[in-house]
A and B are shown apart, each in its own frame.
Chain A
Amino acid sequence: MGSHRRYFYPVWLRLWHGLNAALFLGLIFTGLNLQYASASAANLNFRAAILIHNVCGIALSLNYLAFVALNAATGNGRQYLPRLKSIVGDMLLQARYYLFGIFRGDPHPFETTPQRKFNPLQQVTYLLIMYAVVPGAIITGIGLLAPDILVRQVFGLSGLTLTDLTHTVFGFILSLFLLGHLYLATTGETPTANFKAMLTGWHEDARVPETTRGTNP
């Protein structure tokens, strides 16, 4: 076993993650403003909310493209691919940890290494979120930005309504994801360890030899 501190998150990844998080928050905030707009409620100015939402959305889309490109270029994309053979068992194992093991102080069932940063549950969730829901939200978002390119009618329903509904539902799923993501980030070695790692790039190893434990309170 090597050093207990390992370099997990390269600079580009941290930059991307930070930007993504900030834009995400902006989108959710302004999105809620648009969704629950009303004449009486004292909320953010509707037109300002539209502007911010559009700008953040476009920025997030570009950021997403950078993410996909860099994932492909650096090989980081492989982190998201679960081992297909044992995927069901692996996920159950991880779920059992979150439901029971975590309370007992059991070790994480899958060792976190720079080669394998995500547990199977993370892999599957992230894969769905980053390669299905986020692109879906981006595509429907583009559709709403330029409604003239949309299909007018789908099975007798307005294409716009359908796109808008999908966009709203995707936005909602992503908000839920954010909640879960933030919470599960606290399940690291210490509640703040994962946050620090995301800031500094260095991951505190969970399985450090007993002898070195005391050095890092």
Chain B
Amino acid sequence: MVRMTTLPQDPATAAANQKCLRCHALTTLGYRNAADGLYVNLSVSPAEYHASNHGKLACVKCHTKAFQTFPHSAKLRRKQLVCLDCHKKDRKLLKFQFPGILREFQASVHVQKLGKKFTCFQCHDPHGFKIHARVSRRVAQTVLYDNRICLQCHGNEPAVLLASGKPQPSLDLIHAWLPHTELHWANVRCIDCHTSPSNTGVSHQILPKERAVRDCVRCHSSNSLLLQSLYKFQARQERSRDGFLNATILNQSYVIGATRNYYLNVLSFVVFGLTVAGIAVHAGLRRYFNGKRAAEDEKRRRHGQP
């Protein structure tokens, strides 16, 4: 379980939010959009919301106060909310590099292909959003959380068909070339192969499938790509928690080249070198003494001695 760190919510906000959650906490609150047949989820999990990065905000902070009346007016819906409305202005949020993320996002295959139809909310649910990689101590949890985001659409055939006009190929089939596919999926995020590396923390430039990483060695080597992405935060965290040595020995998981950890590596070279040297010395000595003995034998024979 991910430990949910609940942000303190002031009582007035909590009471106001409770009014909305009276209906919106129902897990199946939603409808199927008549235009495309897709499900529109209107449900907000109170527990998830409180644990999310936005958890201390009042609902009406983003959704206008006009939503307080029931039934909600049809006009309200027309205005699309945008993350950067808040995130561009607030200085406190500078460290998250939203301008960089925006640039990557706009270069991503999703926006390139789908244009304005594709918004932040296609992937990120603002009511449950959590910067997971930075806070989770376990890589597997981050992987699960992040991959679920992709699978919201890519595990949902009608959604892909509707958005792209092309059928969603079977994920199993197109990844069949990848040995131990299931294991990769449990330990590596989709975006680790499907984005271009960046310095915004988590690259938002999703690449077209032709440009995805297919070269095993990009990860399975000492200079693994993953150390710049998936393991970046973990390594940093563990170094501060467990000290450098432990982190270096323990941290690297099943990436074949990465089991070549530094200390074992040096040790193996030394042992191997010593063995070769030992054999060389022994062989040299044998050769030397054999030669000497052969010479003596020869001498003895020539002198007719037994």
Contact A36 B283 (CB under 8 A): no
> Chain B residues near A103 (CB, 8 Å)?
285-286, 289
Instruction: Let me know if A47 is at the binding interface, CB within 8 A.
Output: yes
Contact A35 B260 (CB under 8 A): yes
Closest B residue to A187 by beta carbon equals: B286
Instruction: Let me know if B15 is at the binding interface, CB within 8 A.
Output: no
Interface-forming stretch among A17-25, A114-122, A158-166, A193-201? A158-166
Instruction: Let me know if A39 is at the binding interface, CB within 8 A.
Output: yes
A38-B285 contact in complex given A160-B253, A172-B268, A179-B279, C-beta closer than 8 Å: no
The binding surface of chain B is classed by DSSP as helix
Instruction: Let me know if B39 is at the binding interface, CB within 8 A.
Output: no
Instruction: Let me know if A46 is at the binding interface, CB within 8 A.
Output: yes
Contact A157 B250 (CB under 8 A): yes
> Chain A residues near B81 (CB, 8 Å)?
none
Contact A160 B283 (CB under 8 A): no
When each residue 269-295 of chain B gets 1 if its CB lies under 8 Å from chain A and 0 otherwise, what string results?
001100110010011011001100100
The binding surface of chain A is classed by DSSP as helix
Closest A residue to B216 by beta carbon equals: A46
Contact B290 A38 (CB under 8 A): no
13 further interface pairs, Cβ-Cβ under 8 Å (given A37-B217, A38-B221, A168-B264): A38-B217, A38-B222, A46-B216, A46-B217, A104-B289, A147-B180, A147-B254, A161-B253, A164-B256, A168-B260, A172-B271, A176-B271, A179-B275
Residues of B within 8 A of A (CB): 179-180, 182-183, 215-218, 220-223, 250, 252-254, 256-257, 259-260, 264, 268, 271-272, 275-276, 279, 282-283, 285-286, 289-290, 293
Residues of A within 8 A of B (CB): 34-39, 46-47, 50, 98, 102-105, 147-148, 157-158, 160-161, 164-165, 168-169, 172, 175-176, 179-180, 183, 186-187
